[in-house]
Structure 1
Amino acid sequence: MRSSVHVPAAVEALLGHPVAAMSERPAPLLSRLLVNVTVERSLWPVHVLLGADATVADQARAAVAVYAAEGRRPPLPADDGATDTAARFELHLSNYALDALDPEEKVLDLGSRNFFLCSRKTQRSDHPLLLHSALPCLDV
């Protein structure tokens, strides 16, 4: 079977098979994602390599693990009874986004490779002017 593009016989002889067979291969599936996670009060982002089926909670766990392993400053807040690392932090699309991402959502479906990680704080209902979703990242 010949392709519509003229390929010299010498090229086919060197490759040992028709060039058209190479161009008919399906595109490879995405197996890994490289994402940038900026941790609150940190100077530069953490680079995290995730599997293609990773969730937002997996990304938060991986970002905290990389941040701690690299010995970054300032150190992250201490564990206050939460057993899961992802339960201590919230992931946002940017530091200006008020709503935290759903922990069960797939990272691949979000359409972004840059995120902002901030510690989850207890919501205070005594401040009527702030939305509850904005409270975890704001020091008020």
Structure 2
Amino acid sequence: MGGFVSIPRTQQPIETTNDSLRPSKLLFNVTIHNSLGTIKVLMLPEDNVGDLIKAVLVIYDGGKMRPVLRNIDPNCYHLHYSPYNLQSLKPSEKLKNLGSRNFFLCSKPRTSSR
């Protein structure tokens, strides 16, 4: 037999509301500067940019990916829409309000201590 699944019909029509049409999680693709490929992360729409940065760094570091990051502190990174966009996203901004699911993560410029 094939891989089909039979779903029984209900006698009453199914009511849908706006809440049932909202995704429970969103898939984000984040490319880290100087790394190969993207990190794919499932996040809640109510999470913010700071949460996404933390999740990406945990996945990257936990996967022993190369190049090894010097620092995995989320406060040392900016999230951008692309590598060509100079404006970084605010860490407090909600993911559901961003309008994109593809991002670029780069480290913040080092400040000289002289």
Query: For this structure pair, what is the TM-score category when the shorter chain's length is used for normalisation?
Result: 0.7 to 0.9
Normalised by the size of structure 1, how large is the TM-score? 0.67
Correspondence for 1:15 among 9, 17, 34? 9
Normalised by the size of structure 2, how large is the TM-score? 0.81
Moved over 6 A (4+): none
* RCO higher in structure (CA 8 A, sep ≥6): 2
Distance 2:90 2:101 in 1: 16
Corresponding residue SS for 2:57: helix
Between Structure 1 and Structure 2, which shows a larger proportion of helix residues?
Answer: 1
CA RMSD of aligned residues (A): 1.8
* Runs (5+) with no aligned partner, structure 2: 1-7
* Runs (5+) with no aligned partner, structure 1: 1-13, 80-84, 125-140
Distance 2:93 2:43 in 1: 14
How many corresponding residue pairs?
A: 103
What code does the residue aligned with 2:63 have? E
1:104 aligns with 2:92: yes
> Offset at 1:88?
1.0
Name the structure 2 match of 1:91: 79
> Offset at 1:122?
2.6
Name the structure 2 match of 1:40: 33
> Offset at 1:78?
2.9
Larger radius of gyration: 1
Deviations for 1:36-95, whole angstroms, at most 9, x for unmatched residues? 00000011000011111110000000000011111110011236xxxxx22111100001
Percent of aligned pairs with the same residue?
36
